Amino acid sequence: EDQVTQSPEALRLQEGESSSLNCSYTVSGLRGLFWYRQDPGKGPEFLFTLYSAGEEKEKERLKATLTKKESFLHITAPKPEDSATYLCAVSIETGANNLFFGTGTRLTVIP
Amino acid sequence: ETGVTQSPTHLIKTRGQQVTLRCSSQSGHNTVSWYQQALGQGPQFIFQYYREEENGRGNFPPRFSGLQFPNYSSELNVNALELDDSALYLCASSIAGGPTGELFFGEGSRLTVL
């Protein structure tokens, strides 16, 4: 059974305190792994796509990495505006936009 | 460039009623996907429309149906509403053949079923 598990469920960081969010997956035929950011009351906002193990993508204070079983979203020196829920999703072979999402990690960055 | 817009933003229905939610896709996008997001959960794929036809469906019953119009806008219809249908309904647009999984979401329609 396809599964995407994110940990931790919630994370509180002091401003400037770097950390990592984890997304582990068990799927057949991974086409891609995606990270989205969701602010309260808003729709998810696309951040990254990773296609193969060893791939890395960076955007400002965020860096996403991928292995054969999991992905990490590293947050370096976070700021309060990085507070959001970060969602991990996978695409399997049956359809490009049929994304299977995890339940997310709710990040709070305290000034 | 106009983003994805959804209406209504909030609505309350009673069990057994029917609801129609609307979505205008981002300019230049020809594919629309609908997702259901229950409180504290990740979005769950309902279905996708391309060229006015359903082009992929998740594990949702037939009382969830949709339409796509020639201008690429879309509707989600839910019949015989149940309490568990209470959720945020998200519309996402993309370009067929574009980057896999790069979806542009609207802000959603919050449905409460009493």
Tens-digit pLDDT profile for residues A68-80: 999 999 999 999 9
Q: Do A49 and B90 touch (CB under 8 A)?
A: no
Sequence-distant (6+) residues with CB within 8 A of A10 are: A105, A106, A107, A108
Residue with tokens 């999703």: A89
Q: Are A42 and B9 in contact (CB under 8 A)?
A: no
> Which residue out of A21, A86, A97 would a mutagenesis test of the B interface target, given it has the greatest number of B Cβ atoms within 10 Å?
A97
Using alpha carbons, select from A84, A81, A20, A73 the residue that is nearest to residue A49.
Answer: A73
Per-residue pLDDT of chain B (114 residues; tens, 9 = 90+): 569 999 999 999 999 999 999 999 988 888 999 999 999 999 999 999 998 999 889 999 999 999 999 989 999 999 999 999 999 999 999 887 777 788 999 999 999 999
Nearest to A43 among B41, B42, B105 (CB): B105
Q: Which two tokens stand for residue B77?
A: 């219809």
Residues of B in contact with A98 (CB under 8 A): 33, 45, 48, 56, 58
Reduced to 3 states (helix: H, G, I; strand: E, B; else coil), residue B99 is coil
| C-alpha span between B21 and B10 (Å, rounded) | 10
Specify the DSSP class assigned to residue B50: E
